[in-house]
Amino acid sequence: MLLSIEGFLPKWLKGIRWWPWRNEVEVNILEVGELNEALFLKIGSGLHRAYLPLIKVGELPEGIPLNRAMVINGGKFVEAEYTPRYLHMLLNAGFLEIKECISLPIANNAVIRAQPITLDSSNAVAIHTLSNGVNVVVKSYRKLPRVSIEPLVLEALVTSGYRYVPRLHYIVKWGEDVVTLVMEYVENLGDGGKPFYEDAVKYFNEGGRAGTIGLASQLGVEVSELHKTLINVDNDFFKPEAITDFDLKKWEERVEKYAKSIYSSIEVIEVGSERLKPWIEALGDLLPKAVNSFRESIDVYRDLVKARIHQDLHLSQFLYNPGRGFILTDFEGEPARSEEEKLYKEPCLRDLGTLVRSFHYLTTYIVISRLGFDGSTALHSKDPLKIWRHVHLRALIYAYLANILPYVKKAVGLNKLELISKISELMKPWIIEKALYEVTYELFYRPHMLPIPIMGLITFEDEVSGLIPKP
């Protein structure tokens, strides 16, 4: 069985999102664990390693298309996380180490159903339903990094009493690698942007008053609690450190890399719509301004503090549960970063700056989707959702500041009055950086969405100066 699978792997992997190559390359099986009709594999190619548990099935599991299975000599093999047998397999595989955080009565309850949450993720993520009605999320890491950031952060938050993450049941390791997390399934009404999106659409259509300002304040408190919790973890991985000239140079180089990538993409992109051409042409003028503004503004961080932050914070990273608030579900870092970059500590206020971009992205999407590319030129002069956005962002930022102030020296490196007086300056470079990252992403994946981050590059000066008045 192993030899058959080994020969089939290169062809199968090239159609899988998490595999880094689209052409067939040599794949080596590094480690094997066997359990009944299941094979647990660690595979490698070059410097890349991946975890791949496979199980033989008679029928394809719910939600798994045939092209996601390996059909070998008439037998079907699928990724084991998408079958109800996986949780019991974890508990019975002697080569795996199970760290229990919150007990889950798997031994006394059969898993009656398993289905993927998505097949488009770089990891395997599925919902498993126990016979007692409990739902859990099973998340396996396909690509195996040198340091698994998310399990470290999630365990630190859970053990420190941070309430805005799913409860953690098991951390599963194979040797030094964390391969699977078993977590609480959080009932939700949608991602963190849903209540704000619905309220902004209502405001756009009917006017009146913004109705979710309280939720924005709640979000600000949750983010400040996240930072307060992480800076107080007694571990060098989380310990705040002084920002050096090397850090400033590193952040400048990242922005320059985004700009270079954008220039290269502009040269070769084929514009499918005439309406996109003016936006893409505008990028040529916007990029030097954005890069120079970042260089000038980042110096405000000289000799301040960097810490372990979320790194990829935006509204879609949350699940919204009215009874529990906004629940963070992803701590893997910014997807486009290298493994080394994901380990970097950064200023806490970077998370706040990327949330500002997330609200701007949401409102710009609403305006463009309703007015079209032509009508959206109103955004250049009078953004119909600017007032809505700014009252929400002020609520978010003021709530964050009020909650973080007792820890401000440790978290940021400034005293209270300095932080309040410089808050706009401190967020500005991260708003620019995030907009450039979004342009890079949309050029590659969704060119039709380009006007949204481009508008962010057009308006960032006004966005920052008009958001929080100086005291």
Q: pLDDT tens digit string along 226-276?
A: 999 999 999 999 999 999 999 999 999 999 999 999 998 887 776 666 778
CB–CB of 348/412 below 8 Å? Answer: yes
Tell me the C-alpha to C-alpha distance, in Å, between residue 12 and each of 24, 66, 269.
9, 11, 30
Question: What Rg do the C-alpha atoms of the chain give, in angstroms?
Answer: 24
Per-residue pLDDT tens for 271-294? Answer: 666 778 888 888 888 999 999 999
The conformation of residue 17, written as its DSSP 8-state character, comes to T
User: Which pLDDT score, from 0 to 100, does residue 471 have?
Assistant: 59
| Ranges of CATH 3.90.1200.10 domains, the chain | 194-467
DSSP string, 32-67: EEEETTEEEEEEEETTEEEEEEEEEESSPPTT--GG
CB 411 within 8 A of CB 402: no
Percent of the chain at pLDDT > 70 equals 95
Residue 304 above 90 pLDDT? yes
Full-model pTM: 0.93
Q: Is the pLDDT of residue 216 over 90?
A: yes
Instruction: Let me know if domain 194-467 sits in CATH 3.90.1200.10.
Output: yes
**What is the secondary structure of 299-311 as a DSSP string?**
GGGTT-EEB---S
The predicted structure's pLDDT at residue 470: 64
Could you read off the pLDDT of 404-431 as tens digits, one per residue?
999 999 999 999 999 999 999 999 999 9
Average pLDDT, the chain: 91
Residues 6+ apart with CB under 8 A from 164: 222, 225, 226, 324, 325, 326, 327, 328
Per-residue pLDDT of 340-394, as tens digits, reads 999 999 999 999 999 999 999 999 999 988 887 665 555 666 789 999 999 999 9
Name the residue among 313, 294, 300 with its Cα closest to residue 396: 313
